[in-house]
Amino acid sequence: MAFIRCLWAACFTSLAAATISPIDTSVPSVPGGMVVSAAPPGPFFQDLEPSFPTTGWWVGYAAAPSQDSVVAGPFPYMSRALDTGLQFGISNTRNFDGTSIIQTTQMDWEASYVQNPNSHTSHKATAWDTQSVTVKYFAASGAGFTTYLVPGSPYMTFNYDAATVLLTSKNGNILSINGKTVGTSPVSVSGTKFTITNGAGTYVAYSLGGSITLIANTTTLTGGATFTGVIRIARVTAESTSQEILDQYSATYPTGVALDYTFTGDNTTMSFTWNVVGNAANLLHLSWPHHRKHLVNPVYVTGLSYLTTKGYMKPVAGNSWKLSYALPTITWQAPRTPQASCTEQIIQALEYEIAHLTVAVPDDFYFWGKAFQATARLALVADHVGRQDLIPAVLTVLKQSFAYWTVTGQSTYAAYETAWGGVVDGAGATDPNIDFGNGYYNDHHFHYGYMLHGAAVIAKYDASWWNTNKNFVTAFARDIGNPSTADPYFTVARCKDWFAGHSWASGIANGGGSRDQESVGEAVNAYYGLILFADILGNQDIKNWARLLYATEVSGAQTYWHLYPNANDPDTPYPEAGLRSLTTIGNVMDYQAGAWLFWGAQRSEIAAIQMLPITPINEDMYDTAWLNGVWNYVSSELVDPTVGDDWKSIIYMAYGEVSPQTAFTRSTNITAWGGTTSQAYLLYHLSTRKNPGGGNICTSAAANPAGTFLIRTSTGKFVSSSAAAPQLVANSSVGAPFSFAYMPGGGSIFNTATSQYVTADPNAAVPLSAARAVAQAWENFKVVLQSDGTYVMLAGVNSQYVTIDSTGALFNNGASLAAAAKFTLVAQ
């Protein structure tokens, strides 16, 4: 089956999902107008018009500067499209280095033809679909070959057209062909099957176009004449049955694949149907562990497998796979009402947080988006605890923050990038160091999921705001969630690798080389944002599509990011028990996966970034077996005051699926919640868990005293602090007036004479000091009544008790209650 040469991406509609109409097809409406990438695609797309995929496994074939990166497939192979030919190989090594499993990329063979002009413009894409890409190498004479790069095929397939086959070893010398040793003088072999060995091991090559002659020397296999027909090449594995199976299925080859899906209530069946040449029932295609969890009635073929970073790929016969997924049913709110034991504390925190909201001014998409979504969730919490009166104040802040994106002339702005086709951080189109590479198409799903989520919340409560802002928001939904090739402005589901079963975060930076995804929780959140957006649109098709994007990402997270130390699963992607004991993969890449991050090494960081943002829809993603493993693994960090509460709060929230009571108790030490949650939201989340053990989730916290007091020590001195000497020193008979008030996680202490909040140094190197205009984590104290009527103070920042040194200065350095200074509060 030959592809029709097309000038427009829309020509390929029939190859992609055709069941869902585009979200929109009009010119994206963003105030930043049009910008052009400083790294436009190379001649790979010479006959085609944008929009182009930017994030899929093969973008390195197209990305600047030289379109020659090693790319993430088509697995089990990795490959490079060079001017001289298409190189491919399978790693011979798999090492566990204590942190990661690494399968170093290697190229084993290069497929080409003798007449290849070897110029930069003599190969190009002729078609692609949601999984595969078709690449043509061509000469002016018409000679050349076409290769269908289809993930999951154990064979590389090269369709030659009036060209002389040229296969070059890229892994040591060619050692033998069909059992004949290849040495100094060339060996000529004719036939339709060739077994060849080089430094990589054994490959087998098939001619589907009749007998051919190959002349082998130590570097190349060269055709004896020009040839028109298909050559297939496959790696023979160590299994004794491997070659026999490859022989048996060699005649049927895939040229592309159609993605489709049907929805039945809250279930979906996703289908991959490969276009094949040959007998469709005899297509041999490899599955990964996540496929095998979802395949419906697969016809497995045993005796051939390939070990990849995602575990063993194993063959399935037939050109049509059906994969069944349960879809999420949760939308805006948790599916249970907040438990009464928690509501008073939720509302207290909520009132405080809403009163202290600030308008986030966009400096990027990422951090702004996190703040936007976290703020938006407060409106939903207020709604669910019956405090609708608090919602307008949240919406006011959200709208002011969002409005920055809709006016022209801002230094941070959204623009439509025309070389690849997508909405980007405008300044980033020429600078990959802006906004985590957003302008180079990195992290779009992370960034835009947060925005979609927050915007949907505003829209839920304000239809007129939605009418005004719908077009702008829709551009972002199309950017990460376009379902259809009929939208000319955006590639389909930009970040999703449908065969790999999850998204990639990497775009076109670094030559579009190796793929990674470091925070799968944020990827899941992207598709949650799209679900909420679709709910606002009232478009059930788009909502189902978003639910499919969500469900596949969650399955990917559980299969490839969540590790199960005690798992006895023979189909685990990670047979290395040492890796699994690390409980969480930090970064899934194409050639390695490991418990590490680009930015942090703490166990709680590695786990929390795969969980956040915590949302009610994810309750089944945070599965108990994984959470229990994580809980044990991070336990020492959870009681370590030097580990950030930002991360602990996330882990406690997720652990609420196992025991919301334990999560609640442990979270009472938290004074910082990071960018994606807050005390009100944490309490709301815990209060709405399944609560497997039953019983009250929250217990009433001992509140700090409230009011204005002088602080007196047991020796009768009063604590002073002045504008000139803000440090707290118990040396006076007068003392400064301090106002004690609630704040989430404890309370603040405010010098009313100087209008400054008391702050504590995390290292306790300097005394407490009334020196902050606003109260945040370092200004958070627990003031605890003792049985003798005195109080002790505990600094939230380092969980240390306040002591008094010989000069009378107050330090937060008491490790135990016994070391704590006792104070009497004298009401003013």
Residue 181 contacts ligand NAG per CB under 6 A: no
CA distance 701 to 341: 11
> Closest by alpha carbon to 369, among 430, 412, 324?
412
H helices of 501-595, in order, are: 520-537, 540-556, 577-580
Q: At what angle do helices 679-687 and 340-355 cross, to 10 degrees?
A: 160
Check: CB of residue 780 under 8 Å from CB of residue 767. no
CB of 615 to ligand NAG, least distance (A): 23
Q: Tell me how far, at minimum, the Cβ of 560 lies from ligand NAG, in Å.
A: 22
Cα distance between residue 276 and residue 281, in whole Å: 10
For ligand NAG (CB under 6 A), the number of binding residues is: 22
Query: In the complex, what is the shortest distance from the CB of residue 430 to ligand NAG, in angstroms, rounded to a whole number?
Result: 43
- Please provide residue 602's backbone torsions phi and psi, each rounded to the nearest 5 degrees: -70, 145
User: Which CA distances in Å does 336 have to 345, 529, 547, 558, 661?
Assistant: 17, 21, 20, 24, 16
Residue 601 class from Cβ within 10 Å (0-12 exposed, 13-18 middle, 19+ buried)? exposed
Nearer to ligand NAG, 340 or 725 (CB): 725
Site for ligand NAG in 614-643 (CB under 6 A): 639, 641
Rg of the Cα trace of the chain? Answer: 31
Q: Residues 457-496: x/- map of binding to ligand NAG (CB under 6 A)?
A: ----------------------------------------
Contact between 219 and ligand NAG (CB under 6 A)? yes
Give the position of tokens 């000139």: 724
168/242 with CB nearer ligand NAG = 168
Per-residue tokens: 687: 């209060």
Q: How far is the CB of 189 from ligand NAG (least distance, A)?
A: 14
- Fill in the DSSP letter of residue 319: S
Candidates 261-269, 300-308, 312-320, 583-591; binding stretch for ligand NAG (CB under 6 A) = 261-269
> CA geometry: angle at 585 spanning 58 and 496, to 5°?
30
- Cα separation, 295 vs 398, whole angstroms: 43
Smallest distance, ligand NAG to C-beta of residue 363, A: 34
Closer residue to ligand NAG (CB): 445 or 547: 547
Q: Given the complex with ligand NAG, which of 130 and 751 has the nearer CB atom? A: 751
Contacts to ligand NAG from residues 307-336, by CB under 6 A: 326
Least separation in angstroms between CB 135 and ligand NAG:
23
Q: Give, in order, the Cα–Cα distances in Å from 828 to each of 722, 740, 780.
A: 18, 12, 22
Binding range to ligand NAG, per CB under 6 A, among 573-581, 619-627, 720-728, 818-826: 720-728
220 binding ligand NAG? (CB under 6 A): yes
- Burial track 396-410 (b if 16+ CB lie within 10 A, e otherwise): ebbbebbebbbeeeb
Residue 807 CB-density burial (10 A; 0-12 exposed, 13-18 middle, 19+ buried): exposed
HEC letters along 424-470: EEHHHHHCCCCHHHHHHCCCHHHHHHHHHHHHHHHHHHCHHHHHHHH
Residue 213 near ligand NAG by CB under 6 A: no
Per CB under 6 A, the segment of 196-204, 314-322, 464-472, 729-737 that binds ligand NAG is 729-737
Check whether the bond before 76 is cis (ω within 30° of 0).
yes
Nearest approach in angstroms of CB 697 to ligand NAG is: 15
- Which x/- pattern over 274-313 shows residues binding ligand NAG (rule: CB under 6 A)? ----------------------------------------
Site map for ligand NAG, 417-456, x if CB under 6 A? ----------------------------------------
Residue 132 or 544: the one with the smaller Cβ distance to ligand NAG is 544
Of 19, 218, 248, 739, which one interacts with ligand NAG (CB under 6 A)? 218
Instruction: Find, among 663, 594, 601, the residue nearest to 628 by Cα.
Output: 663
- Residue 300 beta carbon to ligand NAG: minimum distance, rounded to whole angstroms: 20
Q: Is residue 265 a contact residue for ligand NAG (CB under 6 A)?
A: yes
**The one among 669, 678, 812, 813 contacting ligand NAG by CB under 6 A:** 669
We find the least distance from the C-beta atom of residue 269 to ligand NAG, in angstroms, to be 9
CB of 267 to ligand NAG, least distance (A): 4
- Closer CB to ligand NAG, 276 or 607, in the complex: 607
3-state secondary structure 722-777: CCCCCECEEEECCCCCEEEEEECCEEEEEECCCCEEEECCCCCCCCCEEEECCCCH
Cβ 268 to ligand NAG, closest distance in Å?
9
Cβ atoms within 10 Å, residue 238:
8
User: To the nearest whole angstrom, how small is the minimum distance from the Cβ of residue 684 to ligand NAG?
Assistant: 19
Taking the C-alpha atoms of residue 82 and residue 69, their distance in angstroms, rounded to an integer, is 9
Q: Which stretch binds ligand NAG (CB under 6 A): 4-12, 214-222, 285-293, 492-500?
A: 214-222
Q: Closest separation between CB of residue 217 and ligand NAG, Å?
A: 4
**Binding flag, residue 222, ligand NAG (CB under 6 A):** yes
Residue 31 or 641 with smaller CB distance to ligand NAG = 641
Report the nearest approach of ligand NAG to the CB of residue 166 (Å). Answer: 8
Q: Are strands 133-138 and 144-149 parallel, antiparallel or unpaired?
A: antiparallel
Could you tell me if 509 and 442 are in contact, meaning their C-beta atoms sit under 8 angstroms apart? yes
- Asked whether position 581 contacts ligand NAG by CB under 6 A, the answer is no
The two structure tokens encoding residue 192: 């339709």
| Contacting range for ligand NAG; rule: CB under 6 A; set: 219-227, 376-384, 491-499, 594-602 | 219-227
Q: What angle do CA 730, 733, 739 make, to 5 degrees?
A: 65
Instruction: Check residue 171 for interaction with ligand NAG (CB under 6 A).
Output: no
Whether the CA torsion 546, 550, 551, 556 is positive or negative: it is: positive
- Nearer to ligand NAG (CB atom), residue 218 or residue 248: 218
Strands, E assignment, 39-154: 78-82, 85-89, 95-96, 100-102, 109-113, 123-128, 133-138, 144-149
Q: Which is nearer to ligand NAG, 181 or 241 (CB)?
A: 181
- Closest CB 757 distance from ligand NAG, rounded Å: 18
What is the Cα–Cα distance from 560 to 550, expressed in whole angstroms?
Answer: 15
Q: Which stretch binds ligand NAG (CB under 6 A): 474-482, 615-623, 726-734, 748-756?
A: 726-734
Stretch that binds ligand NAG, among 329-337, 552-560, 572-580, 724-732 (CB under 6 A): 724-732
Residue 665 found at the interface with ligand NAG (CB under 6 A): yes
357 phi/psi in degrees, rounded to 5: -65, 145
Q: x/- contact string, 778-817, with ligand NAG (CB under 6 A)?
A: ---------------------x------------------
Q: How many helices (H) and strands (E) does the chain have?
A: 15, 44
Interface with ligand NAG (CB under 6 A): 217-220, 222, 264-265, 267, 326, 639, 641, 665-666, 668-669, 720, 725, 727, 729, 731-732, 799
